[in-house]
Structure 1
Amino acid sequence: MISIPYLICSLLSFIPAIVCHEAMHGFAAYKLGDPTAKRAGRLSFNPLKHIDPFGTVIMPLLLMAMNMPVFGYAKPVPYNPAYFKDPKKGDLIVGLAGPAANLVLAIFGALVFTVMSFVLPVNQLAQNQLFYYFYTMFLPMFSLINLYLMFFNLLPIPPLDGSSIFAFILPRKYLPTYYKVQQYAFPIFMIVIIVVPYILKFNPIGIYLDFTAGNVFDFLFSFGK
């Protein structure tokens, strides 16, 4: 059964993670000359502007209930590569801006954790329940969820951010076919990552996230132990 503190910390970690992720996509596109995201109101840090009912709410709750790594997605930020001087390069920069934002947030959470571990010993933190949960539960969860989102989105599967790397190195003549595949790849992928672990008792995405996000997390939080 999911505890109330765990649920609260998960939501307070996940929502800022996806909001910053999507806002940075839009901000990168805007700095490259594309006003599409700004006109759509997607440069905002207001969560309501970015929430996708399934990807932001239902899927993370399902993953929590299944004891799987918590990740998800928000509504994709609209942008138009035609505004970029170099569409392929611009698409790559916009694609990597979201994961980069999550990495910065994860490092920030680890820095706060490390500073608190030196300034306030755990036995002193235990005297204040709010600070105790903030230190022992929220900060590690905040960084880990941001790392999960970062590495999940770096998978080279359309329309995840990692696919922008694939598109960058793909010859231009294959791009039209690639963009057609995009609209079918993601729904199939989402079904697979939720259904496969139950049917085959094998979770490739969980293994991947443990190896990538898990190891980076261990490194970031090793300084405060």
Structure 2
Amino acid sequence: MNDPVQIIQIISIWALPVLFAITLHEVAHGWMAWRLGDPTAMLMGRLSLNPIRHIDPIGTILLPAGLVAIGSPFVFGWAKPVPVNFDGLKNPKRDSIWVSLAGPGANLGMALFWVLVIWLGGHLPAGAAYFAEPMQLMGMAGITINLVLMVLNLIPIPPLDGGRVAAGLLPGPLSYQFSKLEPYGFIILIVLLFTGVLGTFMGPIVSSLRQLFFALGGAPML
């Protein structure tokens, strides 16, 4: 993909879904931690829905834009992690599971929101038909980015959310040993990405879920 106009059009479709998918994922972590006893994110002003408070220049802007520009089938990124003091939770081992699941849960909720956007785009009155295609394209982008983030973060590799869930479910000694992988988690993830293992694992799952969500919204293209 080397047409600058086409690249700008695609980025304009993806920008809002990517920005809010990443932002609300982090806010959900902080909100759940606050509800379960740790006010760190709330006191630092990180429960705000203002994306500027959560933007990471590389993970929120450069990486997703670059993936869109090269025509990558999967777009993902990250925001600045919301600070959570897991020791400050009412029940650290149990509550860390709920804090970790809150992020992927937010992505699932947002995917359903974009299903509604697609459906509304297909049922606009004749006078507003001009907005139908942009709404449906943005809805499809929103579903895709949120499903990718949900599935990616549920992989049981610390410090991904799935890794923290696994650590919370494992017995104490095993959980401690498993958590030692956290400093190497992103290295493992990068290796899986560049060897194609990550795509082989995630691809069928994301594609199947995307087909289902597109069908729920009545997307014009599958």
**Distance of 1:171 and 1:29 partners within structure 2:** 22
Unaligned runs of 5+ in 2: none
Q: So what's the TM-score if we normalise by structure 1?
A: 0.85
Post-superposition offset of 1:55: 2.1
Superposition pairs of residues 1-225 of structure 1, within 5 angstroms? 1=1, 2-64=6-68, 65=70, 67-120=72-125, 125=129, 128=130, 130-135=131-136, 137-190=137-190, 192-193=192-193, 195-196=194-195, 203-223=196-216, 224=218
Post-superposition offset of 1:188: 4.0
**Distance of 2:11 and 2:20 partners within structure 1:** 15
**Distance of 1:70 and 1:58 partners within structure 2:** 11
**Distance of 2:73 and 2:133 partners within structure 1:** 25
**Distance of 1:209 and 1:179 partners within structure 2:** 23
Post-superposition offset of 1:22: 0.3
Q: Tell me, what secondary structure is at the counterpart of 1:217?
A: helix
Q: So what's the TM-score if we normalise by structure 2?
A: 0.86
Structure 1 consecutive aligned stretches of length 4 or more whose deviation exceeds 6 Å:
none
**What value does the CA root-mean-square deviation take over the aligned residues?**
2.2
Unaligned runs of 5+ in 1: 197-202
Post-superposition offset of 1:23: 0.2
> Is the alpha carbon distance of 1:119 and 1:52 closer, same or farther for their aligned partners in structure 2, counting shifts above 3 Å?
closer
Identity of counterpart residues, as a percentage?
Answer: 37
